[in-house]
Amino acid sequence: MIELLKDSYLDAIRPHGLGAFMRMVRTDKNDFSGKYNCGLKVISKLFSPSVWTHVSGPGGHITVKHKITGVVIDFSNHKDPVDPGAVRSIAEKVQEHLNILGNDIFHFPQGSWKIAPDFEKIAKAFPKRA
């Protein structure tokens, strides 16, 4: 469990990770503009196999499920660049995942991802949440 927690944290803060993706698709007002086109390679690389279960979906779709938060994200893997509406949908699910991870699991103060949490302490407390 400790490794999953560490990898989840790193997945969120790494360059070109989930946090970087969210900053990329939002405007200066922290609101999705709906005009940003994102390449399929960028989105495909967001979901680290160590913490996301990849499931091939029907008709050219990819479905990934996070091993801790349980958030499921589905996207088409045959359009490049990805449709802005699909980017927004993916971003909303990524934000849901980051909120669960940061608020409910890591208990970060608002907007504070810079200091790594105590993974061992969280892992000990984690089963109590179920």
48-99: pLDDT as tens digits: 999 999 876 666 778 899 999 999 998 876 678 888 888 888 999 999 999 9
Q: Which whole number is the average pLDDT over 30-45?
A: 75
Q: What angle do CA 66, 1, 16 make, to 5 degrees?
A: 45
Residue 86's CB is within 10 A of a number of other CB atoms, namely 16
Rounded Cα distance between 4 and 52, Å, is 10
| Residue-number span of the structural domain to which 62 is assigned | 2-129
Rounded Cα distance between 90 and 71, Å, is 11
Alpha helices in the chain (DSSP H): 2-13, 18-25, 40-44, 84-99, 119-125
Write the single-letter amino acid at 76: S
Total structural domains within the chain: 1
Residue 129 has pLDDT above 60, yes or no: no
| pLDDT given for residue 33 in this prediction | 64
